[in-house]
C-alpha cells in the first residue's frame, strides 16, 4: 500500500519525526573492483588466446572456495600457462588489470575442512589442500581482500555459480555450450543464447526516525546474530514496493520514507543486494513471520555503536559480518 505520510518523516508516538539521511559507512566490500571488464575481448578468439598466455587463473571449487595466502588477505592465482599452453574452452575471462588478464576455472581439487575459528560465521567453509594451501570462500575472506582481488573473486564466484546451474537450455532442455569466454551460453538444440543471470533482492535498514534501528534474526543463524531485513524482488514488482511488502511480511510493520543507499553483488548463488533505508513507528507491534524470523526488536544506537567499537559484537548482539552490505548500512546509520 502507498502511504499518505509525507516523505522524510515518520509518526512516532504521535509526533512527526523527520528522519536524517545517512550514507553507507563505506563502499560494500564485494562492490569493490578495479579490473577492466573487457566486453569486446570476450568475442575475439585471437585476442583471448593472447590474453591467456599472460593470464593468471583463479581456481574456484564447487563450494565457492579459492586458494588464498597471507591469512586470506590475498588470492593465490596460478599462471595460465601452468594449466595449458592453449586457452581451454572452459576458461572464463574475469578482466584485465595492467598487463595481466585474470581467468577463472572450476576445480575438483580434494580439500579437507579446517575447523572454524571462534566467532566464525556459521557457513564457514575454510579448507586446505593436501600440500597445506588454504582455500576460503568469498563470505569468509571478501572483506580482507584488496579492491582488485575482491572484484575478481566476486565475479569468479558469480560466473562459476551461474554455469553450474544453467547447463541446459531453459526453453528446449538441450545442453548448452559455453561461449564469449564464459559470459554467455548457446543452446545446442535451438540456438537460444543466455547471459549470466542476477536475481535482485532488497535489503532495508528500518529506523524510527530517531535513535532506534529494527534488527531481526533468522532461526538458522548463530545465537545472538541480528541483521536488517531482506527479501527477493518478485516479478512485476518495483524495488520500493518490494521493500514495503517484505518488511510487512517479515515483521508486520508499515514503512515510509524509503530511500536508496547502495548495492553489492551477492553471488550466493546469483543475487545482487539493493540497499534501502525506511522508517517505521516503533510503537507498532512487531509480528515476526513464522519460520522465517525468530525474533525482531528495536535496538538503541548506543548499543550498535558499542558493538561496532567491539569488532561488531557484544555478548548478546552480533552484527552482520563485514562482507555483507548490511554491515555498512548499520555502521552508516549508527555513525551519522
Query: Which residues are near Zn ion by CB under 5 A?
Result: 169, 171-172, 174, 187, 189-190, 192
How far lies 251's CA from each of 172, 197, 247, in Å?
Answer: 41, 30, 6
Q: Minimal CA–CA distance to 160: which of 86, 99, 108?
A: 108
Distance CA 278, CA 241 (A): 12
In angstroms, rounded to a whole number, what is the distance separating the alpha carbons of residues 141 and 126?
Answer: 10
Minimum distance of Zn ion from residue 186's CB (angstroms): 9
CA–CA separation, 241 vs 258, rounded Å?
A: 10
What's the min distance (Å) between Cβ of 172 and Zn ion?
Answer: 3
**Shortest CB 193 distance to Zn ion, Å:** 10
For the packed helices 325-334 and 301-309, what is the interaxial angle rounded to 10 degrees? Answer: 120
Minimum distance between the CB of residue 48 and Zn ion, rounded to whole angstroms?
Answer: 25
Task: Give the angle 33-34-40 at the CA atoms, nearest 5°.
Answer: 105
Closer CB to Zn ion, 120 or 166, in the complex: 166
CB-nearer residue toward Zn ion: 180 or 242:
180
- Looking at beta carbons only, is 17 or 166 nearer to Zn ion? 166
As a whole number of angstroms, the distance between CA 118 and CA 120 comes to 6
Closest separation in Å from C-beta 176 to Zn ion: 8
CA dist 163 and 87 (Å) reads 18
Task: Report which secondary-structure segment, H or E, holds 273.
Answer: strand 271-279
Which residue number, 193 or 234, has a Cβ lying nearer to Zn ion? 193
Closer CB to Zn ion, residue 54 or residue 190? 190
Q: From the CB of 80, what's the least distance to Zn ion, in Å?
A: 31
Taking the complex as a whole, the smallest distance from the CB of residue 89 to Zn ion amounts, in Å, to: 19
CB of 177 to Zn ion, least distance (A): 11
- Bond into 88 cis (ω within 30): no
278 within 8 A of 258, measured Cβ to Cβ: yes
CA distance 287 to 120: 29
Q: Which is nearer to Zn ion, 168 or 183 (CB)?
A: 168
In this structure, are strands 100-107 and 55-61 parallel, antiparallel, or unpaired?
parallel
Instruction: Compare residues 174 and 179 and give the one whose CB is closer to Zn ion.
Output: 174
- Convert 142-165 to b/e letters by CB count within 10 Å (16 or more is b): bbbbeebbbbbbbbbbbbbbbbee
Q: Which is nearer to Zn ion, 15 or 165 (CB)?
A: 165
Amino acid at each position: 500500500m502507498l502511504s499518505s505520510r509525507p516523505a522524510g518523516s515518520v509518526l512516532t508516538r504521535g509526533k512527526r519525526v523527520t528522519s536524517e539521511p545517512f550514507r553507507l559507512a563505506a563502499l560494500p566490500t564485494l562492490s569493490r573492483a578495479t579490473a577492466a571488464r573487457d566486453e569486446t575481448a570476450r568475442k575475439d578468439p585471437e585476442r583471448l588466446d593472447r590474453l591467456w598466455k599472460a593470464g593468471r587463473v583463479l581456481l574456484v571449487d564447487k563450494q565457492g572456495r579459492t586458494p588464498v595466502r597471507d591469512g586470506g588477505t590475498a588470492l593465490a592465482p596460478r599462471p595460465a600457462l601452468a594449466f595449458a599452453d592453449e586457452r581451454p574452452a572452459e576458461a572464463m575471462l574475469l578482466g584485465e588489470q595492467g598487463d595481466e588478464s585474470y581467468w577463472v576455472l572450476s576445480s575438483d581439487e580434494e580439500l579437507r575442512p579446517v575447523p572454524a575459528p571462534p566467532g566464525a560465521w556459521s557457513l564457514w567453509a575454510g579448507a586446505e589442500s593436501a600440500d597445506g594451501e588454504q582455500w576460503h570462500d568469498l563470505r569468509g575472506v571478501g572483506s580482507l581482500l584488496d579492491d582488485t582481488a575482491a572484484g575478481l573473486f566476486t565475479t569468479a564466484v558469480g560466473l562459476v555459480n551461474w554455469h553450474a546451474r544453467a547447463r541446459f537450455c531453459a526453453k528446449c532442455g538441450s545442453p548448452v555450450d559455453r561461449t564469449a569466454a564464459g559470459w554467455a551460453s548457446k543452446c545446442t538444440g535451438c540456438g537460444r543464447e543466455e547471459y549470466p543471470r542476477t536475481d535482485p533482492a532488497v535489503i532495508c535498514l528500518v529506523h524510527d526516525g530517531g535513535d532506534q534501528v529494527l534488527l531481526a534474526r533468522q532461526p538458522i543463524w548463530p545465537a545472538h546474530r541480528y541483521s536488517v531485513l531482506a527479501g527477493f524482488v518478485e516479478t512485476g514488482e518495483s524495488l520500493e514496493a518490494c521493500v514495503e511488502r517484505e518488511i510487512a511480511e517479515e515483521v508486520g510493520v508499515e514503512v515510509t520514507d524509503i530511500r536508496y543507499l547502495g548495492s553489492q553483488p551477492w553471488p550466493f548463488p546469483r543475487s545482487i543486494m539493493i540497499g534501502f533505508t525506511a522508517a517505521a513507528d516503533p510503537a507498532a507491534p512487531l509480528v515476526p513471520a513464522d519460520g522465517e524470523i525468530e525474533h525482531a526488536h528495536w535496538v538503541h544506537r548506543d548499543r550498535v555503536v558499542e558493538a561496532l567499537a567491539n569488532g561488531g559484537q557484544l555478548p548478546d548482539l552480533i552484527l552482520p559480518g563485514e562482507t555483507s552490505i548490511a554491515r555498512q548500512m548499520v555502521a552508516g546509520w549508527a555513525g551519522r
